[in-house]
Chain A
């Protein structure tokens, strides 16, 4: 094994989270996923409503 770059060790420690990586990163992953899904679903909903409204005004 060659000498390792100290920056690499810091990065590894960051992802390792003192052995609690599953719990810490799991929490952050789930929170990010739910918060983002909320935003995406609103965007899709808005696009759908605007399309429906456009169709509605064409009919008239």
Chain B
């Protein structure tokens, strides 16, 4: 478990994340531009949903990332709880902010698709409700984190909620299979035969990778900021400033 301490040391993390931040930012710009062009211009309308199918290219990546971010946050919570790594504690709080914005986007874009297609902005089926619970979990983690004056104590308490809440992730994913819902079942994760043509899967995957690189770029940038602020009296921060 030596690597946890090595990559998690504030000084070393700041160094390696700086290089990655540049690569990820450039990748995000390229993928976003390509993805938007493909999603809005190249890809065809759907035979049932017409042009509203284009909402899917941002709705589905937002929803996937809202769950992926939670797993990252909960994993950081485990590392923070067991190894008391400062960087992991910061990652818990920072990914909660990013995760909350992905969840919000998934909900809002879903509503904007639901109104013209289903006939309602919102329904209380298992999928929509469990995704809303996810938003509350993120907000709860943030609230607990900021409720303590000492950020390390706050991170410890917030990590417990983050870890416990991970149970909601399989519930969101399987809600459409376990219960009757208005929300449709999975299209892409039926790996044997995804029920969408390549002309629609391509922009979806480009956008998905764009969202993913965006997430890591954002997470690194936020964590670096928090580290600089938190470690301002240490020698490594002084050295960076002198450069």
Bound together, the chains give a CA A33 to CA B116 distance in angstroms of 22
| Contact indicator B51/A38 (Cβ below 8 Å) | no
Q: Inter-chain contact count A-B, CB under 8 Å?
A: 74
**Closest-CB distance, A48 to chain B (whole angstroms):** 9
| Contact indicator B225/A34 (Cβ below 8 Å) | no
Secondary structure at the B interface, as helix, strand, loop or mixed, is helix
Interface size on A, residues (CB 8 A): 25
Binds A, one of B71-79, B102-110, B176-184, B196-204: B102-110
| Residues of chain B within 8 A of A12, CB atoms compared | none
| Contact indicator B52/A20 (Cβ below 8 Å) | yes
| A contacts, CB < 8 Å to B | 14, 17-18, 20, 23-24, 26-28, 30-31, 34-35, 38-39, 42, 45-46, 49-50, 52-54, 56-57
| B contacts, CB < 8 Å to A | 40-41, 45, 50-52, 54-55, 58-59, 62, 98, 101, 104-105, 108-109, 112-113, 115-116, 214, 218, 221-222, 224-225, 228-229, 232, 237-238, 241
